[in-house]
Amino acid sequence: MRDPGRFERDVLAPIRAIVGDRGIITDADAKQPHLVAWRDNWTGAVPAVVMPADTAQMAAVVAICAATGTPIVPQGGNTGLTGASQPHADNSEIILSTSRMQKIRAIDLDNDTITVDAGCVLATIQQAAAEAGRLFPLSLGAEGSCQIGGNLSTNAGGVQALRYGTARGLVLGLEVVLPDGRIWDGLRGLRKDSAGYDLKQLFIGAEGTLGIITAATLRLLPQTPASATAFLAVPDPAHAVAWLRRARKNLGENITTFELMERRCLDIAMRHNSRIADPLATRYDWYILVELNAQGDEEALRQRLLTVLEAGIEADEVLDGTLAASAEQAAALWRIREGAPEGQRLEGASYKHDVSVPVSQVPRFIAEADAALAARFPGIRSFGFGHLGDGNIHYNPIQAEGGDFAEWQSYLPEVNRIVHDIVIGLGGSITAEHGVGRLRIAELAHYKSDLEMEMMARLKQCFDPQNIMNPGKLLQPELLARHKAR
Amino acid sequence: MRDPGRFERDVLAPIRAIVGDRGIITDADAKQPHLVAWRDNWTGAVPAVVMPADTAQMAAVVAICAATGTPIVPQGGNTGLTGASQPHADNSEIILSTSRMQKIRAIDLDNDTITVDAGCVLATIQQAAAEAGRLFPLSLGAEGSCQIGGNLSTNAGGVQALRYGTARGLVLGLEVVLPDGRIWDGLRGLRKDSAGYDLKQLFIGAEGTLGIITAATLRLLPQTPASATAFLAVPDPAHAVAWLRRARKNLGENITTFELMERRCLDIAMRHNSRIADPLATRYDWYILVELNAQGDEEALRQRLLTVLEAGIEADEVLDGTLAASAEQAAALWRIREGAPEGQRLEGASYKHDVSVPVSQVPRFIAEADAALAARFPGIRSFGFGHLGDGNIHYNPIQAEGGDFAEWQSYLPEVNRIVHDIVIGLGGSITAEHGVGRLRIAELAHYKSDLEMEMMARLKQCFDPQNIMNPGKLLQPELLARHKAR
C-alpha cells in the first residue's frame, strides 16, 4: 500500500510544520477517541489526527492533502450516529478536527447574529446567546459535546425544529475551506441577499463531502421566557394529528415541541429510571408532550393551552391530560420524553430508524410498519415515538422479549428495508436529521432516483473532483466513478 | 445568423407538435407583453413564446431546445425588475412561459402544505391558503400578477420577510425541468430531510439559469388574526435601530413588519396622493411603521406594543407615535408606506437600489451614502426607506429639483458605484431581493471575489454545460468561458 516514510515526508512533516506539535496527534491512545463513534458502532484507523488552530492553518493542511491526494475525514464533536465522522479502517486518511477552533468571533445584538468558529460546542453558543439576552434555538441531545460545524454539516434538527426549523434556517453566512485548500469567505450576516447563487446551501447538510465549514454567522432569536407544558393521553396517532391541527390553529406560533409517544415508551422509561413516573392516574395507549413558549404573559399562555386542551377533550381527540403547574412539573414531564430513548437502549438491541413522513401520514406509517413487522417477526416490540410536529419519527423496533440476540441482529437489514419501503411509499425520507454517512449510503442509492443520485454525483465532482473530502460517505465511490466530470 | 426555415423545421415545428397551437405564440402583438418588462426598462425579441400546459410538455420542449442548442428564457408573471425574464434583442431565444401551468395540485391540512404549479399567481396561493384557514406569508407589491415559480427563482422577500423569512424558507419541495429536458421530482412535503444534498436549494434564487421550476410544495402557517399597527417618529435611523432592539426583546416573535422612512418619503407620498395624510401633528425627520400579528388576544397585543412604545419614548428612542385604533386607521398608515415608492416614481427618475446590510449597519449606510452623494451631486435628493427589520433598504436617490434629466441619467453608473461601494464596505449585498438578472450582472462580477464567481460558474457548467438556460443573466458569458468544465 502506502510507503510510510514517504507519507511522513510528503504529508505529515509539512502538516506538522503548519500546525505545530500541538496540532497533530499520532499517538495511538490519544488518537483513539477520534477513531470511535459515540455509540461504538463505527471505528477506523488513521496515521494522524490534525487539529488546526485557525482557518488559515486548516486551509494550508487541506492544500497539502489536495496536492498529495490524501483523503480527509472532517470531524467536529464526533457525536454523529451514521459513521460520517469516523475514518475507514485502511489507515489511508487523516482526520481534520475543528476541536481547537472554538472562538466566538462576534455577537452583533442590533443585527441579532453571532459569528462562531466551527469548533464551538453547541451548548457554548446557546449559553453565549443567553448571556446576551437572546435565544439560539438549535437544541439536541448531544448539545454538550457536538460542535456547530458538525451540526451544520448534518443539518441538525432536534426537539425545537417544529418552531425554529432545522440548522439550515439558522445560518446566514459560512466560511468554508474547499477541497483544493482555498478559503471561501461567505461569512455574511444578511437576512436578505439575492446576489447570485446561495453557495452556503451547498455545504449545509453535505456531511463534509464538499468542503470543511470553518465558521458560521448564525441568527439569534428573542428569548421566550413564558412557557406552558402539557402531557396528554390520546387514543392513537390519528387523534394526536387531529389535536395538533386544532392546536396549530390556535397556538401554532407558540408551539415549540410536539412529541408523540407510545405507552410502551413510558413503561420502559419508568422501568429503567426510578425518577420517571406516570403523571396520569389511568393507563393509556398513546401520549403527547407539548410545549409552548412565548414572550407575553405566562398565565395567558397557559390559559390558551387549557382552552385548546378542553376543546380536544370535548372533540374526543384527547382522553386525559395534565398541565404542568411549575417548572419542576414541566421537567418531570420532559424526563419521560428523554427517558424513552435511554430506556430503549437499556432494554435491548433496537434498530434506530430516523425517518420522516408528511405529518398527515404519521398514523398510517406507524400502523403499517407495526403490522408489517409483527407479521414477519412475531413478538417484535416497536416503539413509535418522536417529533410528530415535524413528521420525524424515531421508530425503533426491539427484538421479541427473550429472543436470540444474534438472530435478531441478522434480521436488521430486513427490518430496515420493511420500514423504509413504507416510508418511501408515503413520500418520506429514510433520514430526517441524522444523515447518511456510511450507515445509509447503500439505502440512499437504493431509494433515490437515478437522476437525483446523478445530480448529487455531479455536484460532488464539480467541487471535489479528486474525491478527497470525506470519501466513502454519503455517495458511493462507484456512483462517482460512473459520473466522472465530463 | 440563423436560417429561419431550418429553425421552423428543427425547433418550432416539433415544439408546436408538443404544445399545440394554444401553446405557442408567434404573432407580434400577442408576443409583445412577454417581451417588455413591467417597468418598461428591458425589452427584446423572440421568434416564439411557448406555453406548455404541464410539466411533461415543458420537459419535452426543453429537450428539443437542448438537442438544437436553442437558448431559453424562462418566464413567469414577468414582473421582475432586473431584466432576468426578458429575452435579448437578437431574436435567438425562445421564451418558455409557465403561465398555463396554474393548478393547485394539493393542500394537505394535517401537514400544513400546499403543492402548486409554477404558474400559480402568488395572490391565488395566498387566497387558497386563506380559504383553508391558513396563511401563506409571502407578500409583495406584484402579488396580483407574479407567479410562484418566478418568486422562488428570485428568492423573493417582501414586507413580511422579517418574520417569515424569504421565499427559500417556505419551500419544502420542488419539481424542476433540468437544462437537458429531464424532470427532477423533488416534490417532497417534509420538514426534516437529511437524505443527501438538498438539491432544491440550487434552483431557488438561481433566476432560471439552472433549470425551470415547474411545481413546488410550500409551507402553510397559522393565521394570525390579531394585529397591532403603529406609526412612530424617531430622531434618526440609529434610534430606530435602538427601538427595534427593544421591541424584539419584548415583541420579537410577533413583529411582522418594521419599515423605516425618511420625512421626504412622507412628503412626496402626500404630494402625489390626496388620500395620504400625516398622522402626527408635528413634523419629524424619520418614521417607523411597525406591525405585529398574533393568534392570541388583540387587545393584549396592542397593550404590549403600547408598553414598548412608551418605554421607547421614555428612553428618547421614540419622539412621538400613533397606534392604529381600527383596521381603517391601520390601512391609512400602510398607505403612507405604499405611497412612498409610488411618489418617488412620479417625482422623477430615481435610481432604485435594492441593497441590504446588517441591521446594525443601516444607520451608517444611510449617513455615508447621503454624505457621499451630496458631496458629488449637490442638490441630490435621497430617499432612505425600506425594510429596516431585515436590513433591506431601498435607497433611491432622485435628481436635484429642476436638474437636467439627461445629465442625471448619465450619472447613474457613478451613483450606483458610490452606493454599492459603501454597501460592500459594510458587509452588505448589492441586491437584497430583486436579484441580478441583466441589471446587476457586471456589478456582481465587480464586487464578488474571483473564487465566489468561479464557484458559481462551476455550478452553472455542472448543470447547464451548453449554457442554454437563461444565458446572459446572472453570470456573464465571459466568466463561463473562463471556467469551462474540465
Q: Please state, for a pLDDT cut of 90, what percent of chain A lies above it.
A: 84
Minimal Cα–Cα distance from A291 to chain B, Å? 16
Res. A405: pLDDT tops 90:
no
Contact B195 A459 (CB under 8 A): no
Q: Please state, for a pLDDT cut of 70, what percent of chain B lies above it.
A: 98
From chain A, the residues in CB contact with B165 under 8 A are: 169, 191
Res. B486: pLDDT tops 60:
no
From chain B, the residues in CB contact with A108 under 8 A are: 358, 360
**pLDDT score for B405:** 79
What is the CATH classification number for the domain harbouring B245? 3.30.70.2190
- The DSSP code sequence of A393-454 is EEE--BPPTT--HHHHHHHHHHHHHHHHHHHHHTT-BSBSSS--TTTTHHHHHHHS-HHHHH
Weakest-pLDDT range from A287-296, A465-474, B158-167, B233-242 = B158-167
Within 358-417 of B, beta carbons closer than 8 Å to A belong to 358-361, 387, 390-392
Alpha-carbon distance values, A98 to A146, A171, A208, B82 (Å): 11, 18, 12, 41
**CA-CA distance, A146 to A140, in Å (whole number)?**
9
The answer to whether residue A206 neighbours chain B at the CB level (below 8 Å) is: yes
Same domain, B307 and B357: no
- Side-chain half-sphere exposure of B287, counting CA atoms within 13 A: 25
Give me the phi and psi of B371, to 5 degrees please: -65, -45
Q: In angstroms, what is the C-alpha Rg of chain B?
A: 23
pLDDT band at B343 (very low <50, low <70, confident <90, very high): confident
pLDDT band at B364 (very low <50, low <70, confident <90, very high): very high
β-strand A104-108 against A392-395: which pairing, if any?
A: unpaired
Residue from the list A162, A184, A459 with its beta carbon closest to the beta carbon of B451: A184
Expressed as residue numbers, the domain containing A9 is 4-97
Whether residue A457 is contained in a domain is answered as no
Minimal Cα–Cα distance from B404 to chain A, Å? 32
Contact B194 A429 (CB under 8 A): yes
Q: Which of B241, B433, B259, B414 is closest to B335 using CA atoms?
A: B259
**CA-CA distance, A431 to A210, in Å (whole number)?**
19
Same domain, A131 and A181: yes
Q: Judge contact between A192 and B392, C-beta under 8 A.
A: yes
Same domain, B252 and B326: yes
Residue from the list A192, A429, A444 with its beta carbon closest to the beta carbon of B157: A192
pLDDT band at A406 (very low <50, low <70, confident <90, very high): confident
**CA-CA distance, A269 to A201, in Å (whole number)?**
38
Axis-axis angle for helices A263-272, A327-347 (nearest 10): 90
Contact B432 A194 (CB under 8 A): yes
pLDDT band at B352 (very low <50, low <70, confident <90, very high): confident
pLDDT digits (tens, 9 = 90+) for B181-208: 999 999 999 999 999 999 999 999 999 9
| Structural domains counted in chain A | 4
Cell numbers of B401, please? 429639483
Question: Which one of A222, A246, A272 terminates a domain?
Answer: A222
Q: Judge contact between A192 and B433, C-beta under 8 A.
A: yes
Region A215-228: mean pLDDT is 97
Minimal Cα–Cα distance from B246 to chain A, Å? 10
From chain A, the residues in CB contact with B154 under 8 A are: 194
Residue from the list B252, B390, B475 with its beta carbon closest to the beta carbon of A192: B390
Same domain, A133 and A23: no
Whether residue A486 is contained in a domain is answered as no
Contact B294 A253 (CB under 8 A): yes
The answer to whether residue B435 neighbours chain A at the CB level (below 8 Å) is: yes
Nearest CA in chain B to A217: B358
Amino acid at B271: R
pLDDT digits (tens, 9 = 90+) for A99-136: 999 999 999 999 999 999 999 999 999 999 999 999 99
Whether residue A482 is contained in a domain is answered as no
Contact A387 B197 (CB under 8 A): no
pLDDT digits (tens, 9 = 90+) for A192-202: 999 999 999 99
Q: Judge contact between A460 and A480, C-beta under 8 A.
A: yes
Cell numbers of A216, please? 458560521
The answer to whether residue A177 neighbours chain B at the CB level (below 8 Å) is: no
What is the CATH classification number for the domain harbouring B171? 3.30.465.10
What is the CATH classification number for the domain harbouring A88? 3.30.43.10
Same domain, A256 and A334: yes
Res. A1: pLDDT tops 70:
no
Minimal Cα–Cα distance from A157 to chain B, Å? 7
Q: Considering chain A, what is the average pLDDT of its residues?
A: 94
Same domain, A309 and A236: yes
Contact A194 B206 (CB under 8 A): no
Within 248-307 of A, beta carbons closer than 8 Å to B belong to 248-254, 294-297, 300, 304
Q: Judge contact between B285 and B235, C-beta under 8 A.
A: yes
Question: Which one of A97, A122, A146 terminates a domain?
Answer: A97
ipTM for this prediction: 0.96
Whether residue A272 is contained in a domain is answered as yes
Whether residue A63 is contained in a domain is answered as yes
pLDDT band at A485 (very low <50, low <70, confident <90, very high): low
Q: Considering chain B, what is the average pLDDT of its residues?
A: 94
Contact B456 A295 (CB under 8 A): no
Contact A452 B199 (CB under 8 A): yes
**pLDDT score for B164:** 94
**pLDDT score for A349:** 61
Nearest CA in chain B to A387: B192
Strand stretches in A41-190, DSSP E: 49-50, 72-75, 94-97, 104-108, 113-117, 134-135, 171-177, 183-186
**pLDDT score for A484:** 79
From chain B, the residues in CB contact with A463 under 8 A are: 455, 458
Same domain, A343 and A354: no
What is the distance, to the nearest Å, from the Cα of residue B398 to the centroid of all Cα atoms in its chain? Answer: 22
pLDDT band at A382 (very low <50, low <70, confident <90, very high): confident
pLDDT digits (tens, 9 = 90+) for B282-338: 999 999 999 999 998 999 999 999 999 999 999 999 999 999 999 999 999 999 988
Contact A444 B222 (CB under 8 A): no
The answer to whether residue B99 neighbours chain A at the CB level (below 8 Å) is: no
Cell numbers of B11, please? 425547433
Same domain, B252 and B295: yes
From chain A, the residues in CB contact with B391 under 8 A are: 111, 190-192
From chain B, the residues in CB contact with A109 under 8 A are: 245, 360
pLDDT digits (tens, 9 = 90+) for B145-181: 999 999 999 999 988 889 999 999 999 999 999 999 9
**pLDDT score for A156:** 94
Exposure string (b/e) for B78-87, b if CB count within 10 Å is 16 or more?
bbbbbbbbbb
The answer to whether residue B198 neighbours chain A at the CB level (below 8 Å) is: yes
Weakest-pLDDT range from A228-237, A239-248, A279-288, B406-415 = B406-415
From chain B, the residues in CB contact with A241 under 8 A are: 110
Same domain, B352 and B374: yes
Q: Judge contact between B185 and A449, C-beta under 8 A.
A: yes
Minimal Cα–Cα distance from B424 to chain A, Å? 11
Same domain, B232 and B340: yes
Contact A427 B133 (CB under 8 A): no
Residue from the list A195, A204, A391 with its beta carbon closest to the beta carbon of B430: A195
Same domain, B76 and B125: no
**CA-CA distance, B63 to A287, in Å (whole number)?**
52
What is the CATH classification number for the domain harbouring A420? 3.30.70.2740
Contact B244 A110 (CB under 8 A): yes
Q: Where are the alpha helices (DSSP H) in B362-449?
A: 362-376, 405-425, 441-447
Residue given cell 457586471 in the structure block: B442
Contact A191 B461 (CB under 8 A): no
Q: Which of A240, A184, A244 is closest to A216 using CA atoms?
A: A184
> From the CB of residue A56, how many other CB atoms can be counted at a distance below 10 Å?
13
The answer to whether residue B451 neighbours chain A at the CB level (below 8 Å) is: yes
Q: Please state, for a pLDDT cut of 90, what percent of chain B lies above it.
A: 84
Q: Where are the alpha helices (DSSP H) in A279-404?
A: 298-314, 327-347, 362-376
Res. B350: pLDDT tops 80:
no
Q: Which of B97, B79, B58 is closest to B156 using CA atoms?
A: B79
Region A373-392: mean pLDDT is 90
pLDDT band at A224 (very low <50, low <70, confident <90, very high): very high
Whether residue A472 is contained in a domain is answered as no
Whether residue A305 is contained in a domain is answered as yes
Interface contacts (A, B; CB < 8 Å):
274
Contact A223 B430 (CB under 8 A): no
Alpha-carbon distance values, B329 to B326, B342, B379 (Å): 5, 20, 35
Cell numbers of A397, please? 423496533
Write the CB contacts of B25 (distance below 8 Å, at least 6 apart in sequence).
Answer: B31, B34, B48, B49, B50, B51
Within 298-337 of A, beta carbons closer than 8 Å to B belong to 300, 304
**pLDDT score for B428:** 98
Strand partners of residue B431:
B354
Same domain, A374 and A303: no
Question: Which one of A289, A318, A347 terminates a domain?
Answer: A347
pLDDT band at A350 (very low <50, low <70, confident <90, very high): low
